[in-house]
Structure 1
Amino acid sequence: MLSLLKKLAGGAAAPAAACPPAPPAPAPAPAPKVDPYMLGLRDAVLSGWFNQQTGELFTGFPVTAADTLLDVGCGDGGNVHFCATRGAHIIIADIDAAKVEATRLRLGDTIAASVECHVTDCAPLPIADQTATRVVSTEVIEHVDDPAQFLAELVRVGKPGALYLLSVPHPSSENLQKDIAAPEYFQKPNHVRIISEDQFKQMVGDAGLEVLSHSQYGFYWSLWMMLFWEAQVDLGSPDHPLLNHWAETWQAVLESPRGEQIKQALDGVVAKSQVIIARKPLAA
C-alpha cells in the first residue's frame, strides 16, 4: 500500500533489499582410501587364516605354546608372527638375509618361547632331523629348482605326527597372468613352474606326507595382480585408479548381505593360492 501511495504521489518505491546468497554447501569429505593389503588380510581371515579364537594359522593347522614351528621361506614374517603370538618355539629360514633379520625384529614383541634364525637355500636345511612339530612353507615350491629335494628336507626335519601347511599359486590365477605379467614373473628366481592341483597333491604324497585337506582362496588377489601389471606401479606403493577402484569394489562385495557367499563362489573359480594341510606319519 505504501508503494502505491508513493506512486500516486509521484514518489518512487524504495528498492527491495537484496537477500545475500546462501553459502555454498560444503563439499562432502572424500571417502577414505581402501588399503589393498589390509583388505587382503580381511579376505584371508574369511578364507580361514589367522583364527585368533581357535589358534589356527589356517583351518586345520592349530599352533600352541607346546609346538616347535619351522617357517621355511618366511618372507615378511606375517605367518610366523601369528604363530609367535601363540607362544611357540619359532625357527625361521629364508634365502634372503634381510627378510630373516626383519622377521627376527618383528617377532621381538611377541611371547614366542624362542626364536632361531637361518639364512639358507634349504639344500639342505641346517636343522636336525625330527625337530619341528609344525612346518610352514607358503608360496615357495614354485621357486625352487628341485621340489622333491625341497619337500624331502621339510619332511626330514619334522617330528613323526608333525603337521605341515604348504601353499603354492593356483593354476587358475597363474594361467590368467601368462600374457599379462612382466616376463620376469615366470623366470628364475621367481615362478619357474605352474603347479596343478593334482601335481601338488602328488608332490606332497610322494614326499611321504598324508594329505589332510586341499583348498583354495584368493579371487581378490588374482584380479588385483592382473590390474597391477596393467597399472605398472610400484608394489610397495600401489596407487592407481584401477587398483583403487577394485579394492573399493571388493570391500563393497564383502560388506554386502551375501558377500561371503559371493567370495567363496569366486574363490572356487579363480584362486590366487592352493593350500594343503598334511601330516607326517607316526613312526612304525
Structure 2
Amino acid sequence: MLQLLKKLLPTAPAPVAEPPAAVIPEKKDSYMVGLHDAVLSGWYTEATGELFKGFVVSPDDVLLDVGCGDGGNVHFCGMRGAKIIIADIDAAKVEATRQRLSDTPARDIECHVTDCNPLPIADATATRVVSTEVIEHVDDPAQFLSELVRVGKPGAMYLLSVPHSSSENLQIGIAADEYFQKPNHIRIISEEQFKTMVSDAGLEIISHSQHGFYWSVWMLLFWEAKVDLNNPDHPLLNHWADTWQALLSSPRGAQIKQALDSVIAKSQIIIARKPGVPL
C-alpha cells in the first residue's frame, strides 16, 4: 500500500507508519465442511468400519455400489479390504472410480457401465449393496429396487438414500429448471413413500434417518451464486461454510445441528436387510 501511495502522490509528505496487516482467517472449503458434517451424522467411521452408522463393511464382504458417482462412498469400502463391484450409467465416472480404487486394499474390483435395467450381475452376489441419491433419477423405482434385491445374497445389508422432501421442496422455484428434469431429479420422495418402496421390494427396514441441513442451505446459496459446482468459490458459499464450521465447533453445536437436521434435511437414509439366512 505504501508503494502505491508513493506512486500516486510523489510529493506528499512522508506517510506515518503503516498499521499492522489485518489477520485474515483462512477460508473454509465448502466440501470439507460438508465432509465434517457428514462424519458427525454417522458417515465414514473408520474405527468401526461403518460406511454409515449400522452399515459395517469388512474384508469378507462383496460390496456393490450402484450409481457410484465420484466414488467417495466406495473408496471407504475399498479401504476396508472388501471386494468392490461398481455400476454407473456414466462410463467416465466408472473409470474415475476404478482409478480411485486402485490405491486401496480392495481384494478385487469389478466395473460395469450400465443403466441397471437389468444389472449385469448374477443373482445372490453381494453381501452389501449401496445406492445413494439414485432412485430419484430412475424411471421405474420398483424395477430398480427389484434388481438391487435380486443381486443381494440372503441376509445382505442395504444402504439406500434419496433426497429428503423437505430440502427438495425448498429448492422449488429457486433451483435451476434442469434440477427437476430428466436425467436429474424427476420425483420428490416423501419419507413414507421411501419406506414403502423399500418394503415393497422385499427388504426389512432396520433404520430410517435424515441429515444435511448444511447442504440444503448450501444448495440454495449455490443457485444464487451461479458458480461452477467444481469450483464453488463465492462469498455466499464461503461465509456459509465459515458459519456452519463455527456452529459445529461451539459447545452446543452438535445439538443445534441435530435439531436443524430434523427440520430440513438434504438426505434420508434407510438401512435394510434382505430376508434369509446368509449363505
After TM superposition, list the pairs within 5 Å mapping 1:6-21 onto structure 2.
Answer: none
Structure-2 separation of matches of 1:111 and 1:26: 50
Structure-1 separation of matches of 2:201 and 2:240: 39
> Which structure 2 residue ranges, 5 or more long, are not aligned?
1-13
Q: Kindly provide the amino acid, as one letter, of the partner of residue 258 in structure 1.
A: R
Structure-1 separation of matches of 2:27 and 2:235: 11
Name 1:66's counterpart in structure 2: 60
**Per-residue CA shift, 1:109-154, capped at 9, x if unaligned?**
1000000000000000000000000000000000000000000000
Instruction: Kindly indicate whether residue 161 of structure 2 is the aligned counterpart of residue 180 of structure 1.
Output: no
Paired residues, what number?
A: 265
Give RMSD over aligned pairs: 1.2
Q: Kindly provide the amino acid, as one letter, of the partner of residue 220 in structure 1.
A: Y
Structure-2 separation of matches of 1:53 and 1:173: 31
Change (3 A) 1:277 1:27: same
Q: 1:192 aligns with which of 165, 186, 190?
A: 186
Instruction: Kindly indicate whether residue 249 of structure 2 is the aligned counterpart of residue 241 of structure 1.
Output: no
CA radius of gyration, larger in? 1
Structure-2 separation of matches of 1:28 and 1:282: 64
Structure-2 separation of matches of 1:51 and 1:28: 38
Name 1:223's counterpart in structure 2: 217
Question: Secondary structure, in 3 states, of the residue corresponding to 1:27?
Answer: coil
Name 2:37's counterpart in structure 1: 43
Structure-1 separation of matches of 2:90 and 2:16: 63
After TM superposition, list the pairs within 5 Å mapping 1:123-162 onto structure 2.
Answer: 123-162=117-156
Q: 1:277 aligns with which of 243, 265, 271?
A: 271
TM-score by structure 2 length? 0.93
Q: Kindly provide the amino acid, as one letter, of the partner of residue 218 in structure 1.
A: G
Instruction: Kindly indicate whether residue 79 of structure 2 is the aligned counterpart of residue 79 of structure 1.
Output: no
Residue 244 of structure 1: CA displacement?
1.0
> Which structure 1 residue ranges, 5 or more long, are not aligned?
1-19
TM-score by structure 1 length? 0.92
The percent of aligned pairs where both chains have the same amino acid is: 76
Structure-1 separation of matches of 2:68 and 2:231: 22
Structure-1 separation of matches of 2:41 and 2:17: 49
Question: Secondary structure, in 3 states, of the residue corresponding to 2:137?
Answer: coil
Name 1:17's counterpart in structure 2: none
Structure-1 separation of matches of 2:259 and 2:116: 37
Name 1:6's counterpart in structure 2: none
